[in-house]
Chain A
Amino acid sequence: GENVEQHPSTLSVQEGDSAVIKCTYSDSASNYFPWYKQELGKRPQLIIDIRSNVGEKKDQRIAVTLNKTAKHFSLHITETQPEDSAVYFCAAKARAGGSEKLVFGKGTKLTVNP
């Protein structure tokens, strides 16, 4: 089945710096890659996603890039702010028997230091 590896597990940056989180996946048929943000004590919420027909997608300070050949995708956060501190999960759509499901990475704890 699909395996999603996420790195790093923890990331600490200074406010204003950029942060990059990378995920690799194993199923070459995967074509949907969302990113979720989970603030402390809160539920995971979708922040951005990308489908395999595009290589990059931006939404203000966040962007996601996809390299289908290498089977990896990355989350880029520019001009980081303390409120970006959270756990970030990547996910990939995977085949599951006759159906599909999302497989999540183990998460990256991002700390933005003021």
Chain B
Amino acid sequence: EAQVTQNPRYLITVTGKKLTVTCSQNMNHEYMSWYRQDPGLGLRQIYYSMNVEVTDKGDVPEGYKVSRKEKRNFPLILESPSPNQTSLYFCASSWGGTGADTQYFGPGTRLTVL
């Protein structure tokens, strides 16, 4: 089944404890992206990747890191999480390298930073 997966789905952590949210897609998509969703603010892009080893900042990259060592995986890293990073996170992928095509979203990761 073609899909985007994320893990974990739910995470409660404490300020400053490094964490990684994994994202994987099995559709051979070139483009992958991370969004955060907050009430009233919609979907805001954190980072995106147009291909292996090619990543760039989105609209709200502060406090986040990403890597794209393989085409299928695009992990999101929070080196020192803070409470303002409490949010719902979505990974997405699309066939085209620019992301300006149909985006397929993962199931979401609800992160709480205490």
Chain A residues with CB under 8 A of B22:
none
Report Cα–Cα, A32/B100, bound state, in Å: 8
Contact A102 B103 (CB under 8 A): yes
B-side binding surface: helix, strand, loop or mixed?
Answer: loop
Closest CB in chain A relative to B36 CB, distance in Å? 12
Count of interface residues, chain A, beta-carbon cutoff 8 Å: 22
Chain B contact patch, size range? 20 to 34
From A31, which residue of chain B is reached at the shortest CB distance?
B100
Chain B residues with CB under 8 A of A6:
42
A-side binding surface: helix, strand, loop or mixed?
Answer: strand
Q: Which residues of B contact A (CB under 8 A)?
A: 33, 40-45, 48, 50, 56, 58, 90, 97-103, 105-108
Contact of B100 among A42, A100, A106 (CB under 8 A): A100
From B94, which residue of chain A is reached at the shortest CB distance?
A102
Interface hub of A9, A42, A100, A102 (most chain B Cβ within 10 A): A102
Contact B50 A99 (CB under 8 A): yes
Report Cα–Cα, A104/B46, bound state, in Å: 13
Report Cα–Cα, A101/B45, bound state, in Å: 10
Report Cα–Cα, A73/B98, bound state, in Å: 22
Contact A100 B99 (CB under 8 A): yes
Chain A residues with CB under 8 A of B106:
43
From A92, which residue of chain B is reached at the shortest CB distance?
B100
Chain A residues with CB under 8 A of B41:
106
As a 0/1 sequence over residues 100 to 112 of chain A, the CB contacts with chain B under 8 angstroms (1 = contact) are: 1110111100000
29 contacts between A and B (CB under 8 A): A6-B42, A34-B103, A43-B90, A43-B107, A44-B43, A44-B105, A45-B105, A46-B103, A49-B102, A89-B43, A93-B100, A94-B100, A99-B97, A99-B98, A99-B99, A100-B98, A100-B100, A101-B45, A101-B58, A102-B99, A102-B100, A102-B103, A104-B43, A104-B44, A105-B42, A106-B40, A106-B41, A107-B42, A107-B43
